[in-house]
């Protein structure tokens, strides 16, 4: 990680056993499949991992198993999502000790920090660990965006090693490229649906949640982008946009939005035979048979091969 | 706590030393002052405590010191604010072991749960501890409200021992009174500014942040309410509304909203000689001299006696 | 209107014929019933009137018919809701010419004005007509609130003759009472559900939409408030809160929220035999039989007597 | 307009005299400059025109003068922004009579319509005029988005002749291309800042507000897009993004956001010698000298030549 973060770095789901423990066997199969597909890193304990619901013990299990399974083939980055700086420092130190090569941190939330306090926060994190700190912008979850003025300072003074932007706002991303593109750090998009455009605008890498299900597609986009073949990138992206519709198949009067979205990734991986259980973390409720069947159909439509 | 939660139960600030440790001496003085003023319980590790920023170790220190200082005179309730159920269970078990007589829990946040998952969440919490679970509705911080339909189920099936509503929406509160008033549980308002109206509507108790600074005023409102003397309640409330303006004196281009609001409580307590330091938890920035002076003036206007 | 606006001033629905013209016969029956019940004014062309959907010609018909039907028994106030100052001036001049004794105006919307521009706006309106201008705060519809600082200036310099607050935020209202209570102008709440509390806080009058359906109840609240009989006021308010649930019976996957809410008032008035058609203005869709039946049941539960 | 709307169709500002009348001379100069630069249509009475603040008389003046000035060189489209269907029909009929070749309509707002009512609305508009109806999606102003399901129906049944999307959400736009791209209608972006990306995704045309100030740049983007020269398009877009920063130079504690944004376009056109006055419509307040100077500098930086 002395170089810029780049390539496809999927935010991994956390395979669970039926009784809610990390399912090491499934997790290793998932990791092998991703590495075989050509990803350049693994981001565990991100939003896609249900990190907000995992206890500290489960988070540690996730990092430990991932580092063990990766066997150094690609670096493992670990999210340290929590409401406050001191809390994230605790997570970050444990993750570093367990072998994470970078830690990914949102701003503090629940509270309402201002741009100066967000700078303060990342400086404290960077001082607490020796691996790079990646700033994670995901206001849909935190309700606290990383202001461009904070990003500017943090990138140029060397506090952060990368930005992961999951705002869904292409102009935030474009402005970030413009503002910190010269800082020599990774600029990653978390978008599943405009990875092609983000790469065209100068993204160094992509972090797509549905890359768990179809890593091949995003690796293809990334490779097409490298050669400037935007038409191929766009065609592949459009296929993946359709596949991404699985995040909205759940009936929201029955289960929550996050349960439906993250549950659909797990259900798809279960149907593809990659993981043994589609179980999500309590208190999220499961998808039902009808919804699962729609997901299966989406897999078929996208050219993937469900085995159950 | 076999009876309904009632009376004034202030959400305590967490006095810190300059290097960010819990300041036990200041904390004990604060607690003695509150109990002397006539509060009926102490709510630690609530939003006012900067709980979102406190490490697990600091949270434990807070509960331990509070229980020790209260010496059984009034019960200590402990907030277990976190993003997920398993995480809150861990906090709740530690708090119970440390002597908390009730735990106060938000819904999961960062994720987007639905009403059924929120029910699931509180049931899991209630199963994990033997002290009552108090449902904490504070959508301004969590961005996840507790739906009335969930509340209805939880109150009537006996899962929760009280509601603490800090929504600021009097109709949510009024509807809650209407919906779960017959369940025999505590119905508390977290409002600093319409405690009088909430009591008139049937609140069993009040949890005002600025009750740290002026517990006498809220105890006076509570006592006036008991005798139906609404005019006195209203007059006292109006005085406290003016005092509450200290939460907005901070210049938000310099420090964050939460830093300004919670910082103002600490600054006032420091000026009143109750705590030794106005320090807030990292990464929040401090109030400046000009702002502090305005706070001091508010104290004087409210009839309180700053000593520095 | 040389005196403060006070009492119950319902915002009238606009009875329509099946082909979308103002139904003068129904409108007169509605007005007679309201005046008989003891209201002190009639507010036409408010949000409840579907004003946003009415053409200028229909708006003029509404004012003309209302003034004619009122026959000077109570004053008619006319809303001049529109996006901009010049547009509202045109409406205001027509309304004044047609006999309106006051005009009710929101801030400009669609655009994003600041506090100074909102002051500018009301000054221009007040200069354009000789009847009082009432400031109408309804951010749920306009997405532009009237800032307290603007209100303070406008009330104390004599630009506005009253405030009608439909924010649903009791603290906005309470602060308004505190801020402009000494200006000698009317301070009206548009809340259907906390009219009792608003009166207790010092409201001079109330403007409840469901007062179309049950004016007796709100007049009873107002009378109880005058004698300080808050228990009666609260009991009556609680009955009306239940009746007000008719605004949410519509299936929002079938018709819009406004269609369901305003349609429920018209359906209730149709069922009570006051108006001849429950028709709402295009493009709003009608309630269906199932929803109508629930509304009828609510009327019965509230002690009203549907005749069809 | 039997063909798809395409090319650059700027939404024109409305030049005003100091006393608030439409300044025909300035307006004609603006129109000549735009047509000389190569625009393919003129969109008057859009949000950029301050339409929300213009009286009906001023709106009619705008359409009349624009049609007269265009002299058939390019078609004039007229916005009919208002809160309700009947109101927009009145505007649409007047605009058609005055020579507009298409009318541009938002959904109803102030009320909360549902997808079916939005379909209803556009059908009523389309029936009322013989020129094409263009659906205008601008939720930042209306707070009512056009749902994709409504758009799908309206485009495929032939009710609307084009979409103008000013949502700022590239995924809304991308999904629209995917959903209605086969309907043979114009799909226009209102974005000033990702016109290049929108064209790459399949936009048939662009409607950039700052195209008033620098039409040459957007025409260059459009021409580069036609030949697939995305690098040139991107470079030009990046220059225009910087120029677009003039919309944020205003001090929002002094004047409103819209006053600052639309005022900056007028100030730039005034400085370029195109219009005689930077006056905006009441109640919007003017930019001050300091802000104007920053705008002038932006013009210079963008390669434009201010003359005052």
Over residues A10-53, the pLDDT tens digits come to 999 999 999 999 999 999 999 999 999 999 999 999 999 999 99
Tell me how far apart the alpha carbons of residues B65 and B28 are, in angstroms, rounded to a whole number.
Answer: 8
> Which residues are within 8 A (CB) of D128 and not within 5 positions of it... i.e. 6 or more apart?
D89, D92, D93
Alpha-carbon distances of A75 from A155, A167, D119, rounded to whole Å:
21, 24, 51
Q: Of A164, A218, A266, A270, which residue is the catalytic one?
A: A164
Which chain B residues have a beta carbon less than 8 Å from that of C168? Answer: 169, 171
Which chain D residues have a beta carbon less than 8 Å from that of A174? Answer: 193-194, 241
Asked if D197 and A170 come within 8 Å (Cβ–Cβ), the reply is yes
Which chain A residues have a beta carbon less than 8 Å from that of D174? Answer: 193-194, 241
Range of the domain at C67: 7-228
Distance from CA of C250 to the nearest CA of D (A): 12
pLDDT one-digit tens code per residue, C215-244: 999 999 999 999 999 999 999 999 999 999
pLDDT of residue B1: 47
Q: Of D101, D122, D136, D266, which residue is the catalytic one?
A: D136
Q: In the complex, which subunits touch B with 3 or more CB pairs below 8 angstroms?
A: A, C
Cβ pair D215, D37 in contact under 8 A = yes
Asked if D241 and A178 come within 8 Å (Cβ–Cβ), the reply is yes
Encoding tokens for residue C107?
């801030």
> Which residues are within 8 A (CB) of C27 and not within 5 positions of it... i.e. 6 or more apart?
C12, C14, C15, C62, C65, C66, C69, C275
Nearest to C171 among B168, B178, B200 (CB): B168
What are the residues of chain C with a beta carbon less than 8 Å away from any beta carbon of chain B? Answer: 168-171, 174-175, 178, 193-194, 197, 200-201, 230, 234, 238, 241
CB contacts < 8 A (A, D): 38
pLDDT of residue C197: 98
Residue B261's closest CA among A112, C165, A84, C292? Answer: A112
Which chain D residues have a beta carbon less than 8 Å from that of C85? Answer: 53, 282-283
Residue C152 has pLDDT above 70, yes or no: yes
Phi-psi region of B168 (alpha: psi -120 to 50; beta: other; left: phi over 0): left
Residue B277's closest CA among B13, B50, B23? Answer: B23
Asked if C194 and B241 come within 8 Å (Cβ–Cβ), the reply is no
How many separate domains does chain C show? 1
> Which residues are within 8 A (CB) of B29 and not within 5 positions of it... i.e. 6 or more apart?
B274, B275
On whether residue B204 sits in a domain, the answer given is yes
Eight-state DSSP code of residue B194: S
Nearest to B258 among A56, A111, A257 (CB): A111
Residue A123 has pLDDT above 80, yes or no: yes
Chain centre to alpha carbon of residue D103: 12
On whether residue A206 sits in a domain, the answer given is yes
On whether residue A275 sits in a domain, the answer given is no
pLDDT one-digit tens code per residue, A229-267: 999 999 999 999 999 999 999 999 999 999 999 999 999
Which chain A residues have a beta carbon less than 8 Å from that of D201? Answer: 197, 234
Tell me how far apart the alpha carbons of residues C251 and C271 are, in angstroms, rounded to a whole number.
Answer: 20
Q: Is A266 a catalytic residue?
A: no
Q: Of D164, D216, D266, D270, which residue is the catalytic one?
A: D164
Distance from CA of D102 to the nearest CA of C (A): 21
Q: Which of C170, C177, C198 to mutate to test the interface with B (most CBs of B within 10 A)?
A: C170
Encoding tokens for residue B234?
């209203």
Which chain A residues have a beta carbon less than 8 Å from that of B84? Answer: 50, 52-55, 281
Q: In the complex, which subunits touch A with 3 or more CB pairs below 8 angstroms?
A: B, D
Asked if C55 and D86 come within 8 Å (Cβ–Cβ), the reply is yes
Tell me how far apart the alpha carbons of residues D139 and C64 are, in angstroms, rounded to a whole number.
Answer: 35
Encoding tokens for residue B121?
């969440």
Angle between helices A230-244 and A215-226 (to 10 degrees): 160
pLDDT band for position C180 (50/70/90)?
A: very high
Beta strand pairing call for A162-165 and A186-189: parallel
Asked if C285 and D258 come within 8 Å (Cβ–Cβ), the reply is no
Eight-state DSSP code of residue B132: P
Tell me how far apart the alpha carbons of residues C246 and C260 are, in angstroms, rounded to a whole number.
Answer: 9
Which chain D residues have a beta carbon less than 8 Å from that of A170? Answer: 170, 194, 197
pLDDT of residue D3: 67
Cβ pair A89, A125 in contact under 8 A = yes
Tell me how far apart the alpha carbons of residues C259 and C252 are, in angstroms, rounded to a whole number.
Answer: 9
SS3 string, B213-281, reads CCHHHHHHHHHHHHCCCHHHHHHHHHHHHHHHHHHHCCCCCCCCHHHHHHHHHHHHHHHCCCCCCCCCC
Q: What is the mean predicted confidence (pLDDT) over A161-179?
A: 98
Chain centre to alpha carbon of residue D199: 17
| pLDDT tens, N- to C-terminus, chain B (308 residues) | 446 899 999 999 999 999 999 999 999 999 999 999 999 999 999 999 999 999 999 999 999 999 999 999 999 999 999 999 999 999 999 999 999 999 999 999 999 999 999 999 999 999 999 999 999 999 999 999 999 999 999 999 999 999 999 999 999 999 999 999 999 999 999 999 999 999 999 999 999 999 999 999 999 999 999 999 999 999 999 999 999 999 999 999 999 999 999 999 999 999 999 999 999 999 999 999 999 999 999 999 999 999 99
Chain centre to alpha carbon of residue B177: 19
Nearest to D171 among A193, A201, A238 (CB): A193
Nearest to A171 among D193, D201, D234 (CB): D193
pLDDT one-digit tens code per residue, C104-133: 999 999 999 999 999 999 999 999 999 999
Asked if B112 and A257 come within 8 Å (Cβ–Cβ), the reply is yes
CA-nearest residue to C239 within chain B is B178
Cβ pair A238, A212 in contact under 8 A = no
On whether residue A56 sits in a domain, the answer given is yes
On whether residue D159 sits in a domain, the answer given is yes
Tell me how far apart the alpha carbons of residues C258 and B88 are, in angstroms, rounded to a whole number.
Answer: 40
Which chain D residues have a beta carbon less than 8 Å from that of C109? Answer: 52, 110
pLDDT band for position C3 (50/70/90)?
A: low
On whether residue B1 sits in a domain, the answer given is no
Tell me how far apart the alpha carbons of residues B76 and C265 are, in angstroms, rounded to a whole number.
Answer: 49
Burial of B286 (0-12, 13-18, 19+ CB in 10 A): middle
Whether the upstream peptide bond of residue D108 has omega within 30° of 0, thus cis, is no
pLDDT one-digit tens code per residue, B100-133: 999 999 999 999 999 999 999 999 999 999 999 9
Eight-state DSSP code of residue A153: H
Asked if A168 and D171 come within 8 Å (Cβ–Cβ), the reply is yes
Cβ pair C186, C163 in contact under 8 A = yes
Report residues of chain D scoring pLDDT below 70.
1-3
Residue C59's closest CA among C45, C48, C43, C69? Answer: C45
Rounded to the nearest 10 degrees, how much is the dihedral formed by the CA atoms of C4, C9, C11, C13? -150
3-state secondary structure of B8: strand
φ, ψ for residue B181, nearest 5 deg:
-60, -25
3-state secondary structure of A107: coil
Q: Is A242 a catalytic residue?
A: no
Q: Is D touching B (3+ C-beta pairs, cut-off 8 A)?
A: no
pLDDT of residue B3: 67
Encoding tokens for residue D173?
């736009």
| Residue linked to tokens 């600025």 | B210
Residue C168's closest CA among C146, C147, C140? Answer: C140
CA-nearest residue to A167 within chain D is D169
Q: In the complex, which subunits touch C with 3 or more CB pairs below 8 angstroms?
A: B, D
Residue A1 has pLDDT above 50, yes or no: no
Beta strand pairing call for C7-8 and B205-206: unpaired
CB contacts < 8 A (C, D): 156
> Which residues are within 8 A (CB) of D75 and not within 5 positions of it... i.e. 6 or more apart?
D1, D41, D42, D101, D102
* Radius of gyration over every alpha carbon of chain C, rounded to an integer in angstroms: 18
Report the alpha-carbon angle C55-C56-C60, nearest 5.
Answer: 120
Chain centre to alpha carbon of residue C16: 17
Q: What is the mean predicted confidence (pLDDT) over C120-149?
A: 98
CA atoms within 13 A on the CB side of B266: 29
Encoding tokens for residue B147?
């739906």
Eight-state DSSP code of residue D42: E
| Residue linked to tokens 């906005």 | C172
What are the residues of chain B with a beta carbon less than 8 Å away from any beta carbon of chain C? Answer: 168-171, 174, 178, 193-194, 197, 200-201, 230, 234, 238, 241
Asked if D194 and A170 come within 8 Å (Cβ–Cβ), the reply is yes
Q: Of C164, C216, C218, C266, which residue is the catalytic one?
A: C164
On whether residue A64 sits in a domain, the answer given is yes
- Domain CATH code at residue B211: 3.20.20.70
On whether residue D297 sits in a domain, the answer given is no
Asked if D111 and C58 come within 8 Å (Cβ–Cβ), the reply is no
Residues for chain A: how many in total? 308
Cβ pair D253, C149 in contact under 8 A = no
Whether the upstream peptide bond of residue B172 has omega within 30° of 0, thus cis, is no
Residue C4 has pLDDT above 90, yes or no: no
Asked if C171 and B178 come within 8 Å (Cβ–Cβ), the reply is no
Which chain D residues have a beta carbon less than 8 Å from that of C82? Answer: 83
Which chain B residues have a beta carbon less than 8 Å from that of A149? Answer: none
Asked if D193 and A178 come within 8 Å (Cβ–Cβ), the reply is no
Whether the upstream peptide bond of residue B283 has omega within 30° of 0, thus cis, is yes
């Amino acid at each position: 990680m002395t170089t810029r973060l780049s390539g496809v770095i999927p935010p991994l789901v956390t395979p669970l056993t039926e009784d809610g423990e990390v399912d090491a066997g499934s997790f290793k199969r998932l990791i092998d499949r991703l590495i075989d597909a050509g990803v350049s890193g693994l981001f565990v304990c991100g939003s896609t991992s249900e990190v907000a619901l995992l206890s500290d013990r489960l988070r540690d299990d996730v990092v430990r198993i991932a580092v063990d399974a990766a066997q150094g083939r690609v670096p493992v980055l670990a999210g340290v999502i929590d409401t406050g700086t001191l809390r994230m420092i605790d997570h970050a130190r444990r993750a570093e000790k367990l072998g994470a090569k970078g830690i990914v941190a949102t701003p503090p939330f629940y509270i309402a920090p201002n741009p100066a306090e967000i700078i303060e926060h990342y400086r404290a994190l960077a001082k607490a660990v020796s691996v790079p700190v990646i700033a994670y912008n995901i206001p849909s979850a935190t309700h606290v965006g990383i202001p461009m003025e904070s990003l500017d300072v943090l990138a140029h003074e060397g506090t952060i090693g990368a930005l992961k932007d999951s705002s869904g706002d292409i102009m935030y991303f474009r402005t970030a490229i413009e503002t910190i593109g010269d800082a020599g750090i990774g600029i990653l998009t978390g978008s599943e649906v405009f990875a092609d455009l983000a790469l065209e605008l100068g993204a160094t890498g992509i972090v797509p949640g549905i890359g768990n299900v179809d890593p091949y597609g995003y690796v293809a986009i990334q490779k097409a982008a490298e050669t400037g073949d935007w038409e191929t990138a766009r065609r592949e992206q459009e296929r993946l946009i359709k596949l991404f519709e699985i995040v909205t198949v759940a009936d929201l009067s029955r289960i929550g939005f996050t349960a439906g979205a993250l549950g659909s990734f797990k259900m798809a991986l279960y149907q593809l035979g990659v993981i043994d259980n589609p179980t999500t973390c309590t208190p999220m409720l499961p998808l039902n048979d009808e919804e699962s069947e729609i997901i299966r159909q989406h897999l078929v439509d996208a050219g993937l091969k469900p085995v159950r």
